Amino acid sequence: MADMTVPTRSRLAASPEGSFGTDFGDPDRALTIGGVGERLDPAEVSGFVTDALAGADIDGKSVCLVVPDGTRTCPLPLLLRAAHAALDGRARRVTVVIALGTHQGMSEEHLAQHLGYDAGALEETYPGWTVLNHESWIPETFATLGSIGADRLAELTGGLLTDTSVEVRINRHVAEADVAIVVGPVFPHEVVGFSGGNKYFFPGVSGQELIDLSHWVGALITSAEMIGSRGVTPVRALINEAATLIPAYRLALCLVVASGTDTLHAAAFGTPEDAWAACAAVSAETHISYRDAPVRRVLSIMPTKYEDIWTAAKGFYKLEPIVADGGEVIIYAPHITEVSVMHPQISEIGYHNRDYFVGQWERFKDRPWGDLAHSTHLRGQGTWDVVDGERNRVTVTLATGIPEDVVRAVNLNYLDPAAVDIAAYEADPDTFVEPHAGEVLYRLRPGPSGGGEPDGRQPDANGLDG
């Protein structure tokens, strides 16, 4: 079992010198279009994709495109049509892999809608291409790339883990390709700071070992500290290091998407590190909205793309920072009927804060670390000790289609979704209603009312999509 250190904010890097010996990423090296406050029209986006791929070394090579699943907002039909035109006649073979991580696979109908073709007629829209779910539940899905040793892991995690190593496995279609190209958005993220870039490889199409370890490192730091942190955080460093083991030449088309739409604010193309750095800078000024004072209650209305609480937890941790101590976050999602389809152990573990697990590590060390991490993400900040037990900063309430006994069994509060009056909540001055929860991060401005920024920024914008 790994020795663990409970971290402080100094663990979160925001400079090249603090990138834990990995590539920090340079926005100036990437091809870019758009920026903060801009909205690109489809013709501009298609032209950018065409020009970017025209300069890529792909002639006669096998290409693997790694794209997001349905839980991410992204104009994939527009992007993939442009990519198909740019790769046609040049790439020897193109395989599209859906970066599910550990999410459940997408049906043919869902894939068709997501990628922009008629169900059962992929060849008509994307001739010559193969589209595959990342099937994490099948061992044959993976190729082993190597491992990251204990000493290097201690460096990468800033000393959070000191006596463990990790095997690095990835979807074999990525490992066997000549060129692997990530196509996907960048948003504030609870595990890594900002999503995108190499994160589509790890955990997007990676083996469980690195998924569990990376998510637990993020959980040790806590979602509240990690989410929206700029620069190369310990988890970003870990996935950047793992990505260097991929034999394919790596590229990325990173995107900044207007939340809940198919409109792009910006795009960047280059190495995953450079393209990500360019888009993370724009996302930080776009997908973070600031408030002057905390609220007593948040009603997070979840889009139907979040199919279980495992994915809909974003409605909690992207709003938690603006909730007052003793307040409440209500996740409103009548369409959700499962806690997690792919992670049944979460129903046995329940939802608890970080200290609950760290303080009882012998009891929980053999549970999947990714499940423990997810548990902390939805439970939020709090403490645990042997005298007073678990004390949580806020109440988490589910107003979903999950039965009350199941909700309470996992240590969450229950509210009948039929009793939710959205208009009444909107009229309540103590309640903040987020009608499209899951993508925009809300924070408090620095000041007497509380709320500083983990990276020390002094924000002066409300966030374009907030």
pLDDT digits (tens, 9 = 90+) for 125-146: 999 999 999 998 899 999 999 9
Grade residue 341 by pLDDT with cuts at 50, 70 and 90: confident
Q: 430-465: string of b/e by CB count within 10 Å (b at 16+)?
A: ebbbbebbbbbbbbbbeeeeebebbbebebeeebbb
- Within a 13 Å sphere around the CA of 128, how many CA atoms are in the beta-carbon half? 15
**Together in a domain, 128 and 160:** yes
Domain boundary among 284, 306, 323: 284
**Together in a domain, 233 and 332:** no
Separation between Cα atoms, residue 39 and residue 36, nearest integer Å: 9
Q: Which domain, by its residues, includes 73? A: 9-284
When pLDDT is averaged across residues 1-8 and rounded to a whole number, the result is 52
Contact 336, 368 (CB under 8 A): no
- Is pLDDT above 60 for 238? yes
Q: Is residue 457 part of a domain?
A: no
Which one is predicted more confidently, 446 or 148?
A: 148
Q: Is residue 274 part of a domain?
A: yes
Write phi, then psi, for 47 (nearest 5 degrees): -65, -40
- Is pLDDT above 50 for 449? no
- Is pLDDT above 70 for 448? no
**Together in a domain, 140 and 33:** yes
**Together in a domain, 65 and 160:** yes
Residues of the chain with pLDDT > 90, as a percent, come to 84
Q: Is residue 144 part of a domain?
A: yes
Separation between Cα atoms, residue 457 and residue 433, nearest integer Å: 26
Separation between Cα atoms, residue 142 and residue 385, nearest integer Å: 41
**Together in a domain, 243 and 278:** yes
When pLDDT is averaged across residues 367-379 and rounded to a whole number, the result is 95
Grade residue 4 by pLDDT with cuts at 50, 70 and 90: low
Q: CA torsion sign, 155 to 160 to 164 to 169?
A: negative
**Together in a domain, 68 and 126:** yes
- Is pLDDT above 60 for 194? yes
The tens digit of pLDDT for each residue in 159-184 reads: 999 889 999 999 999 999 999 999 99
Q: 245-279: string of b/e by CB count within 10 Å (b at 16+)?
A: bbebbbbbbbbbbbbbeebbbbbbbbbbbbbbbbb
**Together in a domain, 270 and 171:** yes
Grade residue 450 by pLDDT with cuts at 50, 70 and 90: very low
The CATH number linked to 344 is: 3.90.226.30
CA angle 270, 271, 276 (to 5 degrees): 85
**Together in a domain, 235 and 304:** no
When pLDDT is averaged across residues 348-362 and rounded to a whole number, the result is 97
When pLDDT is averaged across residues 226-234 and rounded to a whole number, the result is 93
- Is pLDDT above 50 for 54? yes
pLDDT at 19: 72
Domain count, the chain: 2
Q: Is residue 466 part of a domain?
A: no
Q: Is residue 420 part of a domain?
A: yes
When pLDDT is averaged across residues 43-53 and rounded to a whole number, the result is 98
What residue spans of 293-340 are helical by DSSP H? 309-312, 314-317
Of 20-29, 380-389, 452-461, which has the strongest mean pLDDT?
Answer: 380-389
Grade residue 206 by pLDDT with cuts at 50, 70 and 90: very high
Contact 194, 284 (CB under 8 A): yes
Contact 325, 450 (CB under 8 A): no
The CATH number linked to 128 is: 3.40.50.11440
Grade residue 199 by pLDDT with cuts at 50, 70 and 90: very high
Residues of the chain with pLDDT > 70, as a percent, come to 92
Q: Is residue 454 part of a domain?
A: no
When pLDDT is averaged across residues 441-465 and rounded to a whole number, the result is 53
pLDDT at 6: 54
Q: Among 11-15, 67-71, 251-255, which stretch is predicted with the lowest mean pLDDT? A: 11-15
Grade residue 446 by pLDDT with cuts at 50, 70 and 90: confident
Q: Among 200-209, 343-352, 375-384, 439-448, which stretch is predicted with the lowest mean pLDDT? A: 439-448
pLDDT at 2: 55
**Together in a domain, 298 and 259:** no
Which one is predicted more confidently, 105 or 56?
A: 56
- Is pLDDT above 80 for 465? no
Helix (H, G, I), strand (E, B) or coil at 163: coil
Domain boundary among 284, 318, 346: 284
Domain boundary among 253, 284, 315: 284
When pLDDT is averaged across residues 406-432 and rounded to a whole number, the result is 98
**Together in a domain, 137 and 65:** yes
**Together in a domain, 126 and 235:** yes
Q: Is residue 89 part of a domain?
A: yes
| Number of Cβ atoms within 10 Å of the Cβ of 36 | 15
When pLDDT is averaged across residues 353-361 and rounded to a whole number, the result is 97
Grade residue 1 by pLDDT with cuts at 50, 70 and 90: very low
> In whole numbers, what is the pLDDT of the chain averaged over residues?
91
Contact 273, 197 (CB under 8 A): yes
Contact 231, 12 (CB under 8 A): yes
Contact 160, 7 (CB under 8 A): yes
When pLDDT is averaged across residues 255-274 and rounded to a whole number, the result is 96
Q: Is residue 357 part of a domain?
A: yes
- Read off the pTM: 0.90
**Together in a domain, 36 and 159:** yes
- Is pLDDT above 50 for 462? no
